[in-house]
Amino acid sequence: MTELEIRLTRERGLYLQLLRILGATSPSEPMRDVLTALVELTQAERAYLELYEDATAGGRRWSLAHGCSTSEEEDIRAVTSRGIVAAAIASGQTLHTPFALLDPRFSGARSVKEQRLEAVLCVPLSGSGPGVLYLEGQRGAGPFSPEAVQAAETVARFIGTAVQRAGSGSWREAEDPTLPFRQKLRLEAIAGRSRAMAHVFEQVALAAPLDVSILITGASGTGKTQLAQAIHDNSKRRGGPFVEINCAAIPEGLIESELFGSLPGAFPGARRTVGKVEAAEGGTLFLDEIAEIPLAAQGKLLQLLQSKQYYALASSRLAKANVRVIAATNAELEQQVAERRFREDLFYRLNVFTLRMPSLTGRREDLGCLVEQLLERLSEEHGLPALRASPNLHAACEAAEWPGNVRQLRHRLEAALIRASAEGAMNVEPRHLTDGARAQQEGPLSFHEATRLFQRDLLRRELKTSDWNVSEVARQLDLTRSHVYNLIKTFGLTRE
CATH T-level fold of 3-174: Beta-Lactamase (3.30.450)
3-state secondary structure 427-450: EECHHHCCCCCHHHCCCCCCHHHH
pLDDT digits (tens, 9 = 90+) for 193-228: 888 899 999 999 999 999 999 999 999 999 999 999
151 and 168 Cβ atoms separated by less than 8 Å: no
Q: 195-356 has which CATH code?
A: 3.40.50.300
Q: 362-491 has which CATH code?
A: 1.10.8.60
Give the mean pLDDT of 277-306. Answer: 92
* Global confidence as pTM: 0.59
Q: What residue type is assigned to position 413 of the chain?
A: L
302 and 346 Cβ atoms separated by less than 8 Å: yes
Q: How confident is the model at residue 174 (pLDDT cuts 50, 70, 90)?
A: very low
Q: Across-strand partners of 402?
A: none
pLDDT digits (tens, 9 = 90+) for 237-279: 999 999 999 998 888 778 888 898 888 765 666 677 888 999 9
Burial string for 226-257 (b: 16+ CB within 10 Å, else e) reads ebbbbbbbbbebeebebbbbebeebeeeebbb
pLDDT digits (tens, 9 = 90+) for 5-46: 777 787 877 777 777 766 555 556 677 788 888 888 888 888
Hey, where are the domains in the chain?
3-174, 195-356, 362-491
